[in-house]
Structure 1
Amino acid sequence: MSQTRKKGSSDGETKPRTSFVSKFLRGSKLRSSKAESRNESNDLKTADSQPSDEPQKIATLDTATPLTSEMEPGCRVEQFLQKLGKKAADTCLDLNNCGLTTADVREMGAALKATPDLEELTLSWNSKVGGNLPLILQKFQAGSKIRTLELVDCALTSEDGAFVGQLLPMLPSLEVLDLSINRNIGGSLNSITQGLQSASNLKVLKLQSCGLSQKSVKLLDAAFGYLSELRKLDLSCNKELGGGFEDSPAQVATLEHLEVLDLHRCSLTAGDVVSLTQVIPLLSSLHGLDLSANKEMGSSSENLLSRLRFLPALRSLLINSCALQRETFTALAEASIHLPALEVLSLSWNKCVGGNLKLLLETLKLSTSLQVLRLSSCSLVTEDVALLASVIHTGHLTRLRKLDLSYNDSICDAGWAIFCQNVWLLQELTELDISLRPSTFRDCGQWFRHLLCAVTRLPEITEIGMKRWILPPSLEEELKCLDQDRSSSIHFDHGGCQ
């Protein structure tokens, strides 16, 4: 699972907004009860009537003006946000990806000191935060109301990680902690896990790409016993983590409310899989499980995949690129029959699926919830897509919204024809991908006309991936006519006209 950079929705806005201050500092001890009762118009009137030698109430946008200690707390916060072209909503402060400078970081500590009611703070994708985190957050007092702290890809140092560990006991209301993509904090995980023992209300813990090691698993396991409310745990993309689960970390099983477990790209070993086989089936509340990109699972996960049948609430199962073998795929197929709530199933990049899709036949027939099915680069053959077409033809998979059959170059034109003749029955379908591999280019056969006909009968379709399929001029013209006839646009991503 990779992170997506979140742009500030109000970048570029610099107009002063006094209502933000009154909302943001509501309940602050720094304001008198009389000041709290003022409405926005009174605030403006008061500010306009101040003598010239008094501190300015409405800060102007001036990047050269420092935040002085004489400035009233509300104005200090407001001026800082105006300089960044940002605004805040109530108790939420989002400074994602706003290019904070070293000077900004220094000013931020003073600004945050003036926000005792702050509940959500996001500083992700600001590299200058790294090495300066204590300067920014040192004003947080014990009993802070912070519920969300997101520091994704902030170039945090090991010292920053140690500071986070010391800070956590002061944040009793913390529910979301995201330290992902900070590869240097793995060395300070001991301090972080000590702090986590005081975070009894934590619901989301994300440590993706944090340089975690085998030892890290044992440190985290000691903290899990204190995190009874945890709902989401992301340890993905820590390639040195492999082998850490081998000693059967018992505390993971105590996370009875855990809904999402992400261990993709963790270099899980056969020993890890054995231990997880004892733990994962006990997580009865699990909704999402991602074990993708762990190659060792191919020959060692038969028992684990078989026991997924004990997770009836499972909605999302991602197990792509795991080098599954026929035996492990068979175990998964048999278990999937017992997963009635399954909405997302990804088996991409597992070659053993090709020629064996029939093993999933009962699941495909019984499923009433499946919305996303990904079978990219599975070495599917013509018989596989014919089977899929038959399942669709008999009225199944009616809730399917996204179907990925890309990079399966062995399917002949006849297979694509029978599939395209039936795909119109997937009335909720929004995305279809049948692209070829980057090294392959093929001419579209007559099946493309069946696809065009199907598109006119699919009310929700918006995206059709057909990369490296080349259209003859006649079919290109038909596609243009379709675009002109339909009121809503459909993006055909294809290889162009021959």
Structure 2
Amino acid sequence: DNSSPNSHRQGLHTVLVAAVTRALFLCYSDGLSHLISGAESPSGEQRFNQFMQKLGKKPNSKNLDLNNCALSAADVTELASLLPFLPELEEISLSWNGCVGGTLKALTVHLHHVNLLRVLRLNNCRLTAEDVTSLGEAFEIVSQLEELDLSWNSNIGGKLSLLTKKIQKGCKLKLLKITDCNLTAKDGESLAEILNVIPNLEVLDLSINKHIGCSMKVIAQDLKNVPGLKELNLHMCGLKQDSLQGLDTALQHLAELRKLDISCNKEIGGGFKDSTAHLASLKNLEVLDLHQCCVTEEDVTVLSQVIPLLSSLQELNLSSNKSVGVSSDPLLGRLRFLPKLKSVVISNCGLGEESFSSLAEAALHLPELEILDLSWNKCVGGNLKLLLGALKLATEIQVLRLSSCNLVAEDLALLTLLTEDGHLARLRKLDLSYNNSISDEGWVIFCQGLAVFKELSELDVSLRPLSCRDCGTWFSELLAALTKLPALTELGMQRWVLSESQRKRLESFNQDNKRNIRFDC
């Protein structure tokens, strides 16, 4: 090499300058790239908003309502990653999302980020044993939880202890719903064991668990630990007469009870004579549901002494108990002592003229009545006039159900005249279905006066199954009346035969009047 030392040094200097310049450029580029990517990376709030938008929901930092959103397992995982950005969250509703089952642990391990959580709803999520275990572990984290709804998760049956054994003293639960979860007698025993650690419980719903009745006596013994219970739902729980006795003993500790539903427990029939000692003491009871309990005439005798003492009662359902109508005891007549009654449901009770007359007389003393259901009592037909006085005084009545009552034209004329005279002014739902005994002339008279039901929103005039009739004689009157009933949104007309021209007129009516009345023909 013939080059001079100076040229070597100059060449080396050039190389070093180029290397340093490149290094600085790379550092600057990396830093700039990092800054740009940081600026483009969405915040937690933005990610949450995007997640909700993807599901077609409006973001709400306090109430996460994702019911029936077809969530996938990936969605649940993504939701879990967003919980750290939702410190104000109070309610989570994931009901009717089958894919939640088997993935719940991904969510529960992050619940410590939402320590204000009060409500968790997981209805029909196909929860597994692992999910129930995860929920139990979460109870050690979400100390403020007040409402838990696990209804319609059949796999919970036999596994409830995986949850209950984790619930510790001081739990703030006020509402626990486990409807239709295939609970076993052992689950009932597990539930009984935790009643002493959830003293604030106000609502307990175990409905549609037909095996839970076998452990009802055990549960009833521990109900004394929840003296503030306001609602107890045991619909279709397989209760037997001894279950009823145990329950009645528990009622002495439940002075705050507002609602008691023991409906559709057919095997308790005949057991009321030994099981009503404490029922009469429920001075705050507002709702009593005994429908389809196979009560006997002897039961009716006992109930006629007890029910009139429930001075706060507002809703009474005795439906599908035929002995109510044939018993010689004046149960229905004694409803006059319950002036706060708003709903009386006596569908399919085998009423005779005597019991119907007793009810009509009692109804004169029920000024706050809003709902009256007499469906499937054939004696009403031709005798609706017995209710004339009561219907005149019942200024609050909004729902009148007279399905399958053998009504005749005279009954419909009576209803129309009542409204023309200013009565039944608040009527919103009228069920006249399955009254094939009404003549065409009766329907004409009714439709001619139908426009006076100004607040009517639902009307059902359907015929019985397997029957069929032409409505040509009163169709025009009906259509004319509909134009004067702006609140009407549902009209049942099953099995009435409509001609093609009549169908077109109905469709035209909906279009011209911007209505969406469903004609179920």
Aligned to 1:97: 124
Aligned to 1:8: 67
Of 449, 461, 476 in structure 1, the residue corresponding to residue 488 of structure 2 is 461
Moved more, 87-96 or 209-218: 87-96
Is it true that 1:379 corresponds to 2:414 in the alignment?
no
5 Å matches for 1:302-321? 302-321=329-348
* CA shift for structure 1 position 221: 0.9
* CA shift for structure 1 position 112: 2.6
Sequence identity (%) = 52
Is it true that 1:268 corresponds to 2:268 in the alignment?
no
The structure richer in helix per residue is 2
* CA shift for structure 1 position 481: 1.8
Is it true that 1:172 corresponds to 2:180 in the alignment?
no
Aligned to 1:115: 142
**Aligned AA (1:340):** P
Of 359, 363, 376 in structure 2, the residue corresponding to residue 332 of structure 1 is 359
> Are the equivalent residues in 1 in contact too, given 2:300–2:329 (CA < 8 A)?
no
Aligned to 1:194: 221
* CA shift for structure 1 position 62: 11
Rate the CA distance shift 1:17–1:89 in 2: closer, same or farther, 3 A: farther
Rate the CA distance shift 1:63–1:96 in 2: closer, same or farther, 3 A: closer
Aligned to 1:424: 451
Moved more, 151-160 or 105-114: 105-114
Rate the CA distance shift 1:390–1:67 in 2: closer, same or farther, 3 A: closer
After superposition, the C-alpha distances for 1:118-142 in whole angstroms (9 at most, x for unaligned) are 1100000001111110101211111
Structure 1: segments with no counterpart, 5+ residues: 1-5, 27-60, 79-86
* CA shift for structure 1 position 215: 1.2
> Are the equivalent residues in 2 in contact too, given 1:20–1:89 (CA < 8 A)?
no
Aligned to 1:224: 251
**Aligned AA (1:428):** E
Is it true that 1:184 corresponds to 2:211 in the alignment?
yes
* CA shift for structure 1 position 438: 0.5
Q: 2:510, 2:217 → 1: CA distance?
A: 58
Give secondary structure in 2 for the equivalent of 1:99. coil
Q: 1:264, 1:138 → 2: CA distance?
A: 35
Q: 1:66, 1:313 → 2: CA distance?
A: 46
Q: 1:224, 1:103 → 2: CA distance?
A: 36
> Are the equivalent residues in 2 in contact too, given 1:67–1:76 (CA < 8 A)?
no
Rate the CA distance shift 1:89–1:299 in 2: closer, same or farther, 3 A: farther
Rate the CA distance shift 1:65–1:466 in 2: closer, same or farther, 3 A: closer
Q: 1:238, 1:62 → 2: CA distance?
A: 33
Is it true that 1:22 corresponds to 2:94 in the alignment?
no
Aligned to 2:262: 235
* CA shift for structure 1 position 108: 2.2
Give secondary structure in 2 for the equivalent of 1:281. helix
Q: 2:311, 2:100 → 1: CA distance?
A: 55
Of 372, 376, 381 in structure 2, the residue corresponding to residue 345 of structure 1 is 372
Rate the CA distance shift 1:301–1:435 in 2: closer, same or farther, 3 A: farther
Aligned Cα RMSD in Å? 2.4
Is it true that 1:408 corresponds to 2:464 in the alignment?
no
Rate the CA distance shift 1:22–1:419 in 2: closer, same or farther, 3 A: same
Give secondary structure in 2 for the equivalent of 1:345. strand
Tell me the TM-score normalised to structure 1 length: 0.85
Give secondary structure in 1 for the equivalent of 2:170. coil
> Are the equivalent residues in 1 in contact too, given 2:370–2:396 (CA < 8 A)?
yes
Aligned to 1:41: none
Structure 2: segments with no counterpart, 5+ residues: 1-64, 92-98
Q: 1:109, 1:199 → 2: CA distance?
A: 21
Q: 2:296, 2:88 → 1: CA distance?
A: 51
Moved more, 99-108 or 129-138: 99-108
* CA shift for structure 1 position 476: 2.2
User: What is the number of equivalent residue pairs in this alignment?
Assistant: 444
Q: 2:90, 2:293 → 1: CA distance?
A: 43
Higher relative contact order (CA 8 A, sep 6+): 1
> Are the equivalent residues in 1 in contact too, given 2:101–2:126 (CA < 8 A)?
no
Larger of the two Rg values belongs to structure = 2
**Aligned AA (2:67):** G
Q: 1:352, 1:62 → 2: CA distance?
A: 51
> Are the equivalent residues in 2 in contact too, given 1:354–1:380 (CA < 8 A)?
yes
**Aligned AA (1:188):** S
Superposition misfits of 4+ residues, deviation over 6 angstroms: 61-66
Q: 2:368, 2:512 → 1: CA distance?
A: 38
**Aligned AA (1:355):** G
Q: 1:398, 1:245 → 2: CA distance?
A: 39
Aligned to 2:61: none
Moved more, 308-317 or 94-103: 94-103
* CA shift for structure 1 position 248: 5.7
> Are the equivalent residues in 2 in contact too, given 1:7–1:97 (CA < 8 A)?
no
* CA shift for structure 1 position 19: 5.6
Give secondary structure in 2 for the equivalent of 1:22. coil
> Are the equivalent residues in 2 in contact too, given 1:302–1:328 (CA < 8 A)?
no
